[in-house]
Structure 1
Amino acid sequence: MTTTDTTEAAPGADPAGTAKHPVDQRPPLARLGALGAQHVAVMYTGCVAVPLVFGAAAGLDTATIGLLVAADLFIAGLITVVQSLGIGRLFGVRLPVVAGASFTAVTPMITIEGEYGLPAVYGAMIAAGVFGMLVAWPFARLVRFFPPVVRGTAVTVIGLSLVGKAVDLIAGSDPSDPDYASMDRLGLAAGVVALIVVLTRFARGFLAQTVILIGLLAGTGASAVMGMTDFGSVSGADWFGAPDPFHFGAPEFPPAAVVSMCVVMLVIFAESTAYLMSVGEMTGRPVGRAELARGLAADGLAGSAAGVTTSFPDTVFAQNVSLVRMTGVRSRFTTAAAGLLLIALGLMPKLGEIIASLPGPVIGSVSLVMFAMVALTGIRTLSQVDYDGNENGTIVALALSVGMIPVVAPTLYDDFPSWFRIIAGGSISSAVIVAFVLNLFFHHLTVRRTKEHA
């Protein structure tokens, strides 16, 4: 006679009683909310820095920047949920990852805006997103052409090239302004950075994981005391509202702009590939070709969705990858909870208006730290590269040099055709192209020697 096991399955087990993989275990609701909020706290500043930097460079008013921030949070949340939970066999890596606006796209977007206008920026983004979804599976098969020497160079240049944007926010963008680089602005920024350094050294637990957010809040409080804040436009913003599709008009698709954003999408793929594989390793669920392709396809989906909602292309956030390693919490439902929270924040325009009104020195100082951390991530990847008896040193050196040209000599390409300036005039795209081509030349296009016969 066969007996039936009436023992109730333990938490984290499937109906048959077999323990689920930690990635698929769902924590209790209260703990799930706290863990999701923690992920949001870690990535929030880095995510909203992108619309703030781009909005300032494009000369947008505070109300419009507030709309960009809200759309940015909404898309980040949407793609985070997709990456965590997945959509069939098409989208989502189904790992604990958080998506956020990629700094990779900032410089090309600014260049395209100056040459063609905002409708071209978002038209090129839509096209690049479609391109990303189409090439996600082939790219997953060609990942060997983006080894650490290429990925590390790309991420390093991303961080270094954006330092100037953070400095502009701190000092001001107009040298003729009497307030430019004033002691109040520089002192406030230095104080915020010093606070972050001290907290990084002495804080523990959740406090240590939210030092950027604490620096942002403390800096805003100090700026209010110094009379450097202006939240006058917040009262006119709505509490709730959906993203405004095609806010800047019907999208336009200049070929050079589209090509530039497609290159950006490939760089984002290179970034996400490194992070997705890292998360797979640390959670004990290795990322295969199918999982990688679904994760990259979600990046492509983010690009097109962002183009429609006037947001920004998303990538896997390194900060949250580090948080998974630090906390040991491997459940993908924690990041799904973070995604739902981001969606809710994106549907509150008043919150976006508050963030857009934060003083430049405060945003610039925390952005400076975040950009430095991005560069550090690239440097750590480059430290894994073998430089002995090969040409990897040449690849890194030349790619970094070419990538920094637009930073140290921003007017060098002014007399070149617009298509060239958009593609090669950006630090990130030019560095990736050089690293990719040189890696092919040195390591994949070698002439095979024929065996000599006696």
Structure 2
Amino acid sequence: MSVLARASGADPVAPSSGRLSAWRTVLFGIQHVLVMYTGCVAVPLVFGAAVGLDKSTIAVLVNADLLVAGVITVVQAAGIGKLLGVRLPVVAGASFTAVNPMILIGQQYGLSAVYGAMIAAGIFGILVAVPFARLLRFFPPIVRGAAVTMIGLSLIGNAVTMIFEGRPPDGTRLALAVGVIVVIVALMRYGRGFFAQSAVLIALVGGTAVAAACSLTDFGGVGAAGWLGLPNPFRFGAPEFPIAGIVSMCLVMLVVFAESTAYLLAVSDYAAEPMDSGRLARGLAADGVSAAIAGCLNSFPDTVFAQNVSLVRLTGVLSRAAAVVAGVLLVLLGLVPKMGEVVASLPGAVIGAVSLVMFATVAGVGIATLARADLGRDDNLLIVSLAVGIGMVPIVSPQVYEGLPAAVRIVLGGAITSTVLVAFVLNLIFHHIRAPRLRRRAAPVTAARAEEARV
């Protein structure tokens, strides 16, 4: 149980207990969706704008994105026997790690090459899930703690952007965002049971009501949205498979695996669920399946979503059934554009404030993971310091890597990818690769030295 949940008197339910009532399961599933929705749909919005797609085509990408995320969420939470799914209370969503490589491939080879490379990367992910999972010992707390901490820190800027919706800062939106955060903190501190566990949902609903009273909401697009939006496979033509694009997306797949590994281990530790290599492999294989399906449906590779990991930690609600409900709701949002438009119309100040709490909690989860490592040792302290320091470079100075080749920018140009790489490599150097022993040549023993030794 988290410190916040303990302080609030919340009574989290273990993933395997199934003791949540039906209405609570649905509400907690809705809470999961509202927390991750904006981050999930941001991926197709950013990608579509970068490659010059029109609004109607971007809307198709959004629907496909939600549909695939919903399917993979159900697979991850419920599992398909011992074939796919980690069977933990996690929610999947489109990974930002893939956006820049997809844009580069699209600009160089076209959109059919983007999705062809994604299909190939998905198959690659399925094939390497088992061997990758066997590398579990190379992801100790020092590595995954640094990765999760950087994920939280790197996303906070996105939350601030959401609050002001790309406009200059103004007092009304700032006050509304602060109010939403205060409500979450108050409910987590003084609420009991359901009220503490539903703090985020209550803050979302209350904040939206206040925003409507302040004329900060716009649900005008709901009426124009359709009731049914079926997937349109291979919308951009038959997939193409350029070698450079495939290599780039396979690298992305490995980084997605590293992200998901850090999150799955964090949730596993928190839920007191043992994580062996077989179970982790099933979770990673689901990520690979998401990329293969996404390549066919014009969507994006999925990973375990940071916001929902922090929501589990914050509220103490460990129900896999709630995650399954969230997956079903995402499928419905993908198939019914009108429903998706309702969620998309929630005020940015409210969604941004909630996201700020979630992203900050992600960083907190990473710090808590780092606390399990012995940071009193100089080698561990150096690993985390360099990993986080180098990871901050593309955040504080993104132009540093602009002149490098595209393949290098894929790895180093992202805060998360560079942090994972540095932490992983330094951990290998300090803890797994034996340092060569330097042989010293014996100095000749002179009469003077012999006399000094006797003295």
Report the TM-score, using the length of structure 2 for normalisation: 0.79
Give CA deviations for 1:292-313 in whole Å, capped at 9, x if unaligned.
2112111211232234334443
Q: How does 1:25-104 map to 2 (within 5 A)?
A: 31-32=21-22, 34-52=24-42, 55=45, 59=49, 67-93=60-86, 95-101=87-93
Q: CA deviation at 1:287?
A: 2.8
Q: Deviations over 1:93-121 (max 9, x none)?
A: 3x34232215xx32551464267358365
- CA RMSD of superposed structures (Å): 3.5
Match status 1:269 vs 2:276 = no
Residue number in structure 2 paired with 1:394: 382
1:397 deviates by: 0.9
**Residue in 2 that maps onto 1:362:** 350
Q: 2:450 is matched with which residue?
A: none
Residues 411 and 418 of structure 2 are in contact (CA less than 8 Å); yes or no, is this contact kept in structure 1? yes
Rounded to whole Å, the distance in 1 between the matches of 2:96 and 2:226 is 27
In structure 2, the CA distance between the partners of 1:164 and 1:256, relative to structure 1 (3 Å rule), is farther
Tell me by how many angstroms 1:378 deviates.
1.3
Deviation at 1:280, TM superposition (A): 5.0
Residue from 156, 167, 175 that aligns with 1:187 = 175
Note if contact 1:101-1:314 (Cα within 8 Å) is conserved in structure 2: yes
* Structure 2 SS opposite 1:241: coil
Distance of 1:423 and 1:281 partners within structure 2: 28
Q: 1:439 aligns with which of 427, 430, 437?
A: 427
Give me the identity figure in percent: 52
The equivalent of 2:4 in structure 1 is none
State the distance in 1 between where 2:326 and 2:194 align: 16
Tell me how far apart the structure 2 counterparts of residues 426 and 318 of structure 1 sit (CA, whole Å).
16
For 2:123, the equivalent position in structure 1 comes to 130
Q: Identify unmatched segments of 5+ residues in structure 1.
A: 1-21, 174-178
C-alpha distance in structure 1 between counterparts of 2:205 and 2:211, whole Å: 10
Determine whether 1:163 maps to 2:156. Answer: yes
Q: Is the CA contact (8 Å cut-off) linking 2:105 and 2:114 kept in structure 1?
A: no
Q: Which residue of 1 aligns with 2:394?
A: 406
3-state SS in 1 of match to 2:424 = helix
State which of 229, 232, 254 in structure 2 corresponds to 1:244: 232
Q: Aligned letter for 1:50?
A: C
Over 3 Å counting, the alpha-carbon distance change for 1:121 and 1:167 in structure 2 is farther
State whether residues 65 and 356 of structure 1, in contact with CA within 8 Å, keep that contact through their aligned partners in structure 2.
Answer: no
Which stretches in structure 2 are left out of the alignment for 5+ residues? 1-13, 441-455
- Distance in 1 of aligned mates of 2:36 and 2:75: 20
Aligned ranges 1:150-229 → 2 under 5 Å: 150-173=143-166, 179-229=167-217
Match of 1:411, SS? helix
Q: Which one is further off, 152-161 or 201-210?
A: 201-210
- Separation in structure 2 between the aligned mates of residue 23 and residue 215 of structure 1, nearest angstrom: 25
The 8 Å contact of residues 136 and 277 in structure 2, kept in 1 or not, is answered as no
> Which residue pairs with 2:99 in the alignment?
109
The structure that has the greater radius of gyration is: 2
Q: Counterpart of 2:92 in 1: which secondary structure?
A: strand
Shift of 1:247: 4.9
Bigger drift between 82-91 and 431-440 goes to 82-91
- SS of the aligned residue for 2:125 comes to helix
Deviations 1:43-82 (A, max 9, x none): 5312442313662575477766655554344323312322
> Any conservation in 2 of the 1:107–1:426 contact (CA below 8 Å)?
yes
| Residue 290 of structure 2: aligned partner | 302
Corresponding position: 1:428 with 2:421: no
Partner letter of residue 71 of structure 1? A
Alpha-carbon distance between aligned partners in 2 of 1:50 and 1:61, rounded to the nearest angstrom: 19
Whether the 8 Å CA contact 2:74–2:323 is kept in 1: the answer is: yes
Distance 1:230 1:207 in 2: 28
CA contact (8 A) 1:48 1:73 kept: no
Is 1:143 aligned to residue 124 of structure 2? no
